[in-house]
């Protein structure tokens, strides 16, 4: 890297000016499960000058809080966080540097959230990484080992990661994903399993997201979620938040009692099949 100016929104690398992305800012709602936070912090720790941080993958069902875990942990470490949402349409250049037409028909180069995090020493969360194909992962291979760089064919430059740069990816364990190549799997270690929380933690998560909620509604939702977990259903606390939120709106708008509002909300939000797990 020839020059860099982290206080500005652009940097110069070997004569190529890159416009940087802005960090993502939202309120992380991560409650309990402190062991997962410790595991993630340990993966990012550097214990010696010759050591390197690891690139963990957070695996679990959609909605269990993988992204919130990574974001809250990184913010707790004082890091800027950059989120990149992977899709089946993601291209290698999307991950690194994209050319755009600027004023005067000149080409401007825009750094991805990943490259911005590399340059600024932040964290990049590659969200739902197993939704993108092998060509994308191949472009990240040198970043995820001791080389810690990416190459942009478009801009003709090599971008090296700041020593403070950290990386993780979330992966959903559902059918709508690609198999990650084995040579990439070995670079995405350790695997941290994010599972459903216990009842008391689930209640605290709901309360943290909906501090204005009726206590009865929260109790109904937690009971539903715990029964669904025991039935190996995929309903998550994210679903529970939506059920509770709509129930509260029904109570406010129609004057329904909490139990009936909860039942209506559950059916309308998650479908008739969800009623199976109502006591």
Provide the token pair at 151: 């190459």
pLDDT tens string 52-104: 999 999 999 888 889 999 999 999 999 999 999 999 999 999 999 998 887 77
Tens digits of residue pLDDT in 4-28: 444 458 899 998 889 999 999 887 6
Torsional sign, CA 57, 60, 62, 64: negative
Q: In whole angstroms, give the CA distance from residue 114 to residue 126.
A: 8
pLDDT surpassing 80 at residue 204: yes
Contacts 24+ apart (CB under 8 A), 99-102: 99/154, 99/155
**DSSP per residue, 28-79:** ----S-HHHHHHHHHHH---STT------EEEESTTSSHHHHHHHHHHHTT-
Q: Which of 195, 231, 235, 201 is nearest to 218 (CA)?
A: 201
CA dihedral 43, 45, 50, 56 (to 10 degrees): 20
The domain ranges of the chain are 10-193, 199-277
Q: Give the Cα separation of 75 and 25 in Å (integer).
A: 10
10-193 classified as CATH 3.10.310.10: no
For residues 120 and 192, give the distance between their C-alpha atoms in angstroms, rounded to a whole number.
26
| Stretch 146-162: mean pLDDT | 95
Place of tokens 């540097």: 97
Half-sphere exposure of 135 (CA within 13 A, CB side): 9
Average pLDDT over every residue of 243-248: 96
């Amino acid at each position: 890297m020839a020059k860099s100016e982290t206080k500005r929104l652009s940097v110069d690398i070997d004569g190529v000016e890159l416009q940087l992305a802005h960090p993502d800012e939202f309120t992380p709602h991560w409650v309990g499960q402190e062991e997962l936070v410790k595991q993630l912090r340990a993966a990012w720790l550097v214990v010696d000058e010759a050591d390197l941080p690891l690139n963990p993958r957070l695996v679990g069902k959609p909605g269990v809080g993988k992204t919130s875990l990574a974001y809250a942990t990184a913010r707790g470490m004082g890091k800027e966080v950059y989120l990149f949402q992977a899709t089946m349409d993601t291209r290698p250049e999307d991950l690194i540097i994209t050319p755009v037409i600027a004023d005067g028909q000149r080409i401007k180069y825009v750094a991805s959230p990943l490259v911005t995090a590399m340059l600024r020493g932040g964290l990049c969360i590659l969200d739902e990484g197993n939704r993108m194909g092998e060509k994308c992962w191949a472009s990240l291979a040198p970043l995820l080992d001791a080389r810690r760089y990416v190459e942009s064919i478009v801009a003709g430059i090599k971008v090296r990661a700041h020593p403070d740069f950290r990386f993780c990816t979330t992966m959903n364990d559902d059918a709508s994903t690609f198999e990650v190549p084995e040579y990439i799997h070995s670079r995405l270690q350790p695997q941290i399993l994010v599972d459903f929380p216990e009842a008391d933690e689930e209640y605290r998560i709901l309360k943290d997201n909906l501090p204005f909620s009726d206590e009865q509604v929260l109790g109904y939702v937690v009971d539903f979620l715990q029964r669904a977990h025991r039935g190996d259903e995929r309903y998550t606390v994210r679903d529970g938040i939506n059920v509770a939120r709509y129930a509260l709106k029904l109570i406010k708008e129609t004057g329904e009692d909490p139990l009936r509002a909860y039942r209506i909300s559950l059916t309308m939000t998650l479908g008739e099949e969800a009623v199976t797990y109502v006591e």
